[in-house]
Amino acid sequence: MSASNLHIRWAELLVDSLVRAGARDFVVSPGSRSTPLVLAIAKRDDIRTHVIVDERSAAFFALGQARVANRPSVLVCTSGTAPAHYFPAIIEASASFLPLVALTADRPWEDRDTGASQTIDQVKMFGDYVRCFADLGPPDARASSFRSLVRSAAQAVSASLGPIPGPVHVNVQLRKPLEPVEVDGRESWEDEWDALLASPVPRIEQPDRRRLDDAMLDEIARTCASAKRGIVVAGPSPLLAPSDRDAIVGFARSFGFPIFAEATSQLRFGSSDDVAVFTSFDSALRSQDLRRRLAPDCIVELGAAPTSAGYASLLAEVGRVPRFVIRPYGHSDPRGDATMLLKTAPSAFAREIQPKSAAIVRSTAQVEFVAAIAKVEALARRCARAETAGDALTEASIAKIAIDALAENSFLVIGNSNPVRDVDAFADPVTRAIHVLHQRGAAGIDGLLSGAAGAASISNRPTLLLAGDLTFLHDVGGCAIASKTKSPLVALVVQNGGGRIFEELPLHASLDAERAFEPFFATPEPVDLSHVAAAFGASFARPTTTADLTRALGSALDRGGFTIVEAVVSPHDGSARRARYRKSIADAHRAELGT
């Protein structure tokens, strides 16, 4: 067979079609089999290219970009085990309904099941976690093959965006030669290639034709209007546009409902005017007495299922009160007893139901209920200030200082386990808009630093990652890409000697600390983070007081680039402090009532 550059032009057409379909960021990990794809990407100046050696870090970086941009970044890697490293991020993208396109190079079909080097079964390797899968055959000079290639690219981008957003896998078979070759003159298929490059890719529109049914809205409005103890509970949510946030707050205001806002809901920080926002509900509702006093008779849940243990206990005790779950994707009803699940965006629901509240007169009981919640919130905030006072660094004071350090429209990337709970409990509900990014889809600790770097690469805003030491070490390779960040990116690492979240579980009291709990559950890792920072060229600080931490964060967020701030705390103080804080809320409430 005579030499041909079909493979090079074929890859160029695929990449060009992805760009014209809407892709703007390509996250490339090095390898040989992906050479034609990488060369096609490298020659373009109308896209952003990010080269990340570790495929696992690359995938979470792309996920962080998707959280901010709400469009798919394209992952590109070589064959063999390389794409397997995408799997944790693919799972999170699926569970969080985030767009992502994984473009994995593969050996041609004739190499499969032959023992050929770097050849594994990549067909549908991500199973049902992807919205769709395409196994592209080797480059083919037929016009129909070119047209199918363009269509496949358009389908991949479209499928990642809806109707249910999520990850898409495109497997690309490539034969050798992988690099350009010398050819004599113009090849026969190049006219078709030129024509397709000059033609638009197929437009795949997904208009939202789902207008909420009036009768259904009337039913919800009547139920909310008749409530005497109605609440809005806001669970984990993607970023909200200011107008969408305003619509949701307006809905709560119209019906006179307080908002139980988790830190990840996008409603905890920012102005809420005259709407009561209950930021301490998780800690307060750990008290059975407070659960009785604050039991609702109508619940509107927004976003993903709330993660609050206190709220879960409340639901278990109130029984089957009317509960409406509003979320566009997924089935957010772990208990299985919701009255109605409305598959629409909370902001769209809020806009459509709000006119139906015009004639509503808030009941005296509802007004008194909101006043009671406001009192508990004030008590909780007073108790929180007591726990965060003083010069000593604690998990509580770190959470408060982290939020205080963030300017308007900054980004907070928050780790699972204790950090997200400490922000809920101890951080002040500031009126500045703070955008919260989280991994509550699959709720893992994977790739948080890489995701933060990806978010910062799109937002170009100051970004603060608040995470525990194990979460940080789990993604220490992410320092390589974080160190390339130009805008301020700060990793605030709570160094408490391992996974102290397990101290909150019953097993902690039942296990021998030295022989079982510490080595198998807490798993402390004695890593000097100053050496990590030096290895990756990051700035580093290890403050020892609250004043030092405030200064270190202020300097890092002003300076730009990547900074690691290690805040060392007593390993066992966090669990004890959270327990003491919850008890102090219940005690203060009983004292106020004189009971």
Structural domain that includes position 149: 6-179+189-198
Give me the pLDDT at residue 359, please. 66
Shared domain for 335 and 461, answered yes or no, is no
Shared domain for 394 and 362, answered yes or no, is no
CA distance 71 to 89: 15
Q: Which of 382, 403, 422 is the last residue of a domain?
A: 382
Give me the pLDDT at residue 5, please. 83
Average pLDDT over residues 540-546: 96
Q: What is the mean pLDDT of the chain?
A: 90
> What is the percentage of the chain residues whose pLDDT exceeds 70?
98
126-130, Cβ contacts within 8 angstroms, sequence gap of 24 or more? 126/86, 126/87, 126/90, 126/102, 126/167, 126/169, 129/87, 129/90, 129/91, 129/94, 129/166, 129/167, 130/90, 130/94, 130/102, 130/166, 130/167, 130/168, 130/169
Shared domain for 399 and 538, answered yes or no, is yes
Average pLDDT over residues 232-239: 95
Q: Are 452 and 437 in contact (CB under 8 A)?
A: yes
Kindly tell me if the per-residue pLDDT of 326 is higher than 90: yes
Any domain includes 448: yes
Any domain includes 445: yes
Give me the pLDDT at residue 1, please. 42
Shared domain for 423 and 466, answered yes or no, is yes
Give me the pLDDT at residue 3, please. 76
Any domain includes 590: no
Q: Are 247 and 350 in contact (CB under 8 A)?
A: yes
Q: Which residues pair with 411 in a beta bridge?
A: 435, 463
Any domain includes 317: yes
Q: 134, 125, 184: which is closest to 157 by C-alpha?
A: 134
CA distance 566 to 172: 43
Question: What does the block give as tokens for 371?
Answer: 């006043």
Kindly indicate the confidence band of residue 2, based on its pLDDT and cuts at 50, 70 and 90. low
Average pLDDT over residues 516-543: 89
Q: Are 549 and 495 in contact (CB under 8 A)?
A: no
Shared domain for 124 and 158, answered yes or no, is yes
Any domain includes 26: yes
Shared domain for 406 and 286, answered yes or no, is no
Shared domain for 476 and 336, answered yes or no, is no
Q: Are 534 and 459 in contact (CB under 8 A)?
A: no
Verify cis geometry, omega within 30 degrees of 0, for the bond prior to 163. Answer: yes
Average pLDDT over residues 547-551: 97
Q: Are 417 and 444 in contact (CB under 8 A)?
A: no
CA distance 403 to 400: 5
Q: Which of 363, 382, 401 is the last residue of a domain?
A: 382
Q: Can you give the CATH number for the domain in which 397 is found?
A: 3.40.50.970
Q: Which of 366, 382, 398 is the last residue of a domain?
A: 382
Q: Are 418 and 574 in contact (CB under 8 A)?
A: yes
Least confident of 216-230, 327-341, 547-561: 327-341
Give me the pLDDT at residue 522, please. 73
Q: Can you give the CATH number for the domain in which 309 is found?
A: 3.40.50.1220
371-410 CB burial, b ≥16 within 10 A, e <16: ebbeebbebbbebbeebbeeeebbbbbbbbbbbebbeeeb
Encode pLDDT of 167-217 as tens digits.
Answer: 999 999 998 888 887 777 777 777 777 887 777 777 777 766 567 888 888
Question: What does the block give as tokens for 212?
Answer: 């909420």
Any domain includes 592: no
Kindly indicate the confidence band of residue 78, based on its pLDDT and cuts at 50, 70 and 90. very high
Shared domain for 49 and 157, answered yes or no, is yes
Give me the pLDDT at residue 89, please. 96
Kindly indicate the confidence band of residue 595, based on its pLDDT and cuts at 50, 70 and 90. low
Compute the chain's Rg from CA coordinates. Answer: 26
Shared domain for 506 and 532, answered yes or no, is yes
Kindly indicate the confidence band of residue 313, based on its pLDDT and cuts at 50, 70 and 90. very high
Kindly tell me if the per-residue pLDDT of 589 is higher than 60: yes
CA distance 451 to 468: 15
Any domain includes 588: no
Please count the other Cβ atoms lying within 10 Å of the Cβ belonging to residue 231. 27
Kindly indicate the confidence band of residue 594, based on its pLDDT and cuts at 50, 70 and 90. low
Encode pLDDT of 464-522 as tens digits.
Answer: 999 999 899 999 999 999 999 999 999 999 998 877 777 777 877 777 777 777 877 77
Any domain includes 106: yes
Shared domain for 577 and 475, answered yes or no, is yes
Shared domain for 163 and 87, answered yes or no, is yes
Kindly tell me if the per-residue pLDDT of 87 is higher than 90: yes
CA distance 449 to 473: 9
Torsion sign, CA atoms 28, 32, 37, 40: positive
**DSSP per position, 503-545:** GGSTHHHHS-IIIIIIIIII------HHHHHHHHT-EEE---B
Give me the pLDDT at residue 209, please. 58
> What is the percentage of the chain residues whose pLDDT exceeds 90?
67
Quickly list H helices, 82-131: 87-96
Q: 87, 173, 80, 172: which is closest to 130 by C-alpha?
A: 87
Encode pLDDT of 98-133 as tens digits.
Answer: 999 999 999 888 887 787 777 888 899 999 999 999
Average pLDDT over residues 34-56: 95
Kindly tell me if the per-residue pLDDT of 256 is higher than 50: yes
The alpha carbon of residue 558 and the mean position of all alpha carbons in its chain are separated, in whole angstroms, by 25
Shared domain for 375 and 424, answered yes or no, is no
Give me the pLDDT at residue 156, please. 95
Average pLDDT over residues 358-364: 75
* Tally of structural domains, the chain: 3
Q: β-strands 463-468, 489-495: how paired?
A: parallel
Number of H helices, E strands in the chain: 22, 18
